[in-house]
A and B are shown apart, each in its own frame.
Chain A
Amino acid sequence: MKTLIGKVLKYNIKNLNTDLIIPARYLTKSDPNYLAEHCMEDLDSEFNKKKEKYNATILVADSNFGCGSSREQAPIALKAAGIKCVIAPSFARIFFRNAINIGLTILEFKEINALNTGDALEINFKDGIVKNLTSNRKYKVKKMPLFLQEIISAEGLLNFARNKILKK
């Protein structure tokens, strides 16, 4: 899995639930771009604008990110909105699974106080290192096991499984 370099958009919010990520009223369509348009809109109607303003691809939030319903559309919406990685001290379990399964990188990182909107980060998943290029500080995170990196590199669990079946 490649090292990711990107900028941060941060919401200092705990329990940011899947209804805030993508409201249920938009679940009638499954087109990722449509979902992306409405991503986070009940939390912050300026989400897409801010994301562009800061050129942000890394979303940072507080603990228990993605709690609530098990809708897979939540990570799909974030990914389609151009988010490459979500960082939070903890994730709701099903969101965690869904994110990996659709190929959205997520990172458990306790010290979100060290990250601010606009900061540039360099994340090395292989070695488990987060560098804040703006504040020039370095942090260690748990290394991602190889097969999880493979799943994300394959853009999700389905392709990962297909690759395995094709190799058989």
Chain B
Amino acid sequence: MGLTITEKILKDHCDDKKASAGDFILARIDKCLANDITAPIAISVFDKIMEGTKKAVFDAKKIILTPDHFTPNKDVASAEQCKILRKFAQEYKIVNYFEIGRVGIEHCLIPEQGLVLPGEVFIGADSHTCTYGALGAFSTGVGSTDLGVSMALGQCWLKIPETIKIVYSGKLNKWVSGKDLILYTIAQIGVDGAIYKAIEFTGKVIENLSMANRFTMCNMAIEAGAKNGIIVPDKITKEYLQNIRHFNYKTYENDKDADYFDEIEFNCSFIEPQVAFPHSPDNAKPISEVDAIKIEIDQAVIGSCTNGRLEDLITAAKILKNQKIKSNVRCIIIPGTQKIYLDALKMGLIEIFIDAGAVVSTPTCGPCLGGHLGVLASNEVCVSTTNRNFVGRMGHKDSKIYLSNPAIAAISAIKGYITSPTYSLTK
């Protein structure tokens, strides 16, 4: 019986030559990642493992530290957390430690820096590490203990997941993006629809989808409970890697007779832009239904590891150009990395945003997890391009988050209620 891309990558990273889906393996990892929330615990685990020995990390080039959640530090506690990372990075000469001013939201930054490549096994102490499956890597989120151990051993135990194949056929409608496809998918299969499983995104629509949209889709695989999302590398992957000057990597494909746990097909011709209602990402409704009930908003957030890439900002700028944000709405725009920020600046996007009355923040997770720079008060309503709309995720437990793509968030900021450019853009 044939193997899927996920099974093949994992099999090549362990000693068990017979390993297949469902088996537990001790995998050799290519890279590992922690941030300002998870690294301090991982580091204390690492210290305990190493107590009284000749301390060393398994490979100083393969550990990545990104202080991105509460930075630039919002208070003393977060400053102390970051100090732990900084000290560790100095002590162990961690090559890929990103200081403030160079750091960005981890899942935007790491692919941009070429720190993850097709065929690699990448683990991160952050649930959205699954983002890098878009490049044909196996990447998944783990706990801080796992990460501390990985920093010591360069190994991580994993269960090889079975794969659910999702085929996207048909044609994309106007204003429908990777975000809408993944929200639609999660609504169909549920937040537990892919527990333990790999989701492989495939089909004509995916073949023509940009890398930014592919990252968005793999990013939210976890929201369906999946262990990893993955897309087999193709021409678009290659071009992306060429642009960041990476040519040497190993790509994997599915065997022709690969064995899938399940196969699902969605015809994209019937998919409208989606909006996920509070308080679960699988609560998506098509925009036509949402527009009809005129949900008023207090805030719109465009950013995060889901939708903070240049392409997302370009989309938002198209809509915000020569428009004004509604007077009682706050619009917060957060470029994912310093490079994205700078590119947006050079392209004139930042000017468009500020002219429209939006605030542009330095790259950070910020409001996405209710950290800072846009926390909600009680009963406030936000439309957001982030990935989670759980109770209290962006601030007060009685606030509400609606998840959408950047176009919907931008036009809603102008109109003051959740709507689509299809209905509201008079250009």
Measuring CB to CB, which residues of chain A are less than 8 angstroms from any residue of chain B? Answer: 15, 64, 67, 70, 72, 90, 92-94, 96-98, 100-102, 142, 144-145, 147-148, 151, 156-158, 160-162, 164-166
CB of B127 closer than 8 Å to a CB of A: yes
Please give, as numbers and ranges, the residues of chain A lying within 8 Å of B25 by CB-CB distance: 145
Quick check: B127 and A70 within 8 Å, CB to CB?
yes
- In the complex, identify which listed stretch (B43-51, B101-109, B169-177, B239-247) lies at the interface while the others stay far away: B43-51
Residue of A nearest to B48 (CB): A158
Complex Cα spacing A158 to B50, Å? 10
Complex Cα spacing A157 to B26, Å? 12
Quick check: B145 and A92 within 8 Å, CB to CB?
no
Quick check: B49 and A158 within 8 Å, CB to CB?
yes
Quick check: A161 and B152 within 8 Å, CB to CB?
yes
Q: 11 A-B Cβ contacts within 8 A? A: A67-B192, A93-B225, A94-B141, A94-B143, A101-B143, A144-B24, A145-B24, A158-B48, A158-B145, A162-B48, A166-B53
Residue of B nearest to A162 (CB): B49
Given contacts A101-B146, A145-B24, A148-B24, contact A93 B195 (CB under 8 A): yes
Q: Please pick, from A93, A147, A156, A165, the residue contacting B157 in the complex, using a CB distance under 8 A.
A: A147
**Number of residue pairs spanning A and B whose beta carbons lie under 8 angstroms apart:** 68
Interface string of B120-141 (1 = CB under 8 A from A): 0000000100000000000001
Please give, as numbers and ranges, the residues of chain A lying within 8 Å of B195 by CB-CB distance: 64, 90, 92-93
Please give, as numbers and ranges, the residues of chain A lying within 8 Å of B413 by CB-CB distance: none
Q: Please pick, from B26, B127, B142, B159, the residue contacting A147 in the complex, using a CB distance under 8 A.
A: B26
Complex Cα spacing A160 to B205, Å? 45
Please give, as numbers and ranges, the residues of chain A lying within 8 Å of B227 by CB-CB distance: 93
Complex Cα spacing A93 to B45, Å? 21
Complex Cα spacing A166 to B153, Å? 12
CB of B266 closer than 8 Å to a CB of A: no
Those 4 A-B pairs whose CB atoms lie nearest each other, nearest first: A161-B149, A145-B24, A101-B145, A162-B49
Quick check: A151 and B157 within 8 Å, CB to CB?
yes
Residue of B nearest to A68 (CB): B390
Complex Cα spacing A15 to B35, Å? 29
Quick check: A64 and B157 within 8 Å, CB to CB?
no
Quick check: A70 and B145 within 8 Å, CB to CB?
no
Q: Would you give the shortest CB distance from B95 to chain A, in whole angstroms? A: 22
Complex Cα spacing A36 to B22, Å? 32
Q: Please pick, from B50, B143, B148, the residue contacting A70 in the complex, using a CB distance under 8 A.
A: B143
CB of B80 closer than 8 Å to a CB of A: no
Complex Cα spacing A156 to B142, Å? 15
CB of B260 closer than 8 Å to a CB of A: no
Q: Would you give the shortest CB distance from B409 to chain A, in whole angstroms? A: 26
The residue in A72, A93, A97 that gathers the most chain B C-beta atoms within 10 A of its C-beta is A93
Complex Cα spacing A147 to B27, Å? 12
Please give, as numbers and ranges, the residues of chain A lying within 8 Å of B23 by CB-CB distance: 145
Q: Would you give the shortest CB distance from B166 to chain A, in whole angstroms? A: 19
Q: Would you give the shortest CB distance from B386 to chain A, in whole angstroms? A: 17
Q: Would you give the shortest CB distance from B390 to chain A, in whole angstroms? A: 9
The residue in A158, A160, A161, A162 that gathers the most chain B C-beta atoms within 10 A of its C-beta is A161
The residue in B49, B50, B152, B159 that gathers the most chain A C-beta atoms within 10 A of its C-beta is B49
Quick check: A97 and B143 within 8 Å, CB to CB?
yes
Complex Cα spacing A67 to B181, Å? 25
Complex Cα spacing A13 to B48, Å? 37
Q: Please pick, from A64, A93, A164, the residue contacting B153 in the complex, using a CB distance under 8 A.
A: A164
Complex Cα spacing A164 to B150, Å? 12
Please give, as numbers and ranges, the residues of chain B lying within 8 Å of A15 by CB-CB distance: 192
Quick check: A97 and B50 within 8 Å, CB to CB?
no
Quick check: A161 and B49 within 8 Å, CB to CB?
yes
Please give, as numbers and ranges, the residues of chain B lying within 8 Å of A147 by CB-CB distance: 24, 26, 157
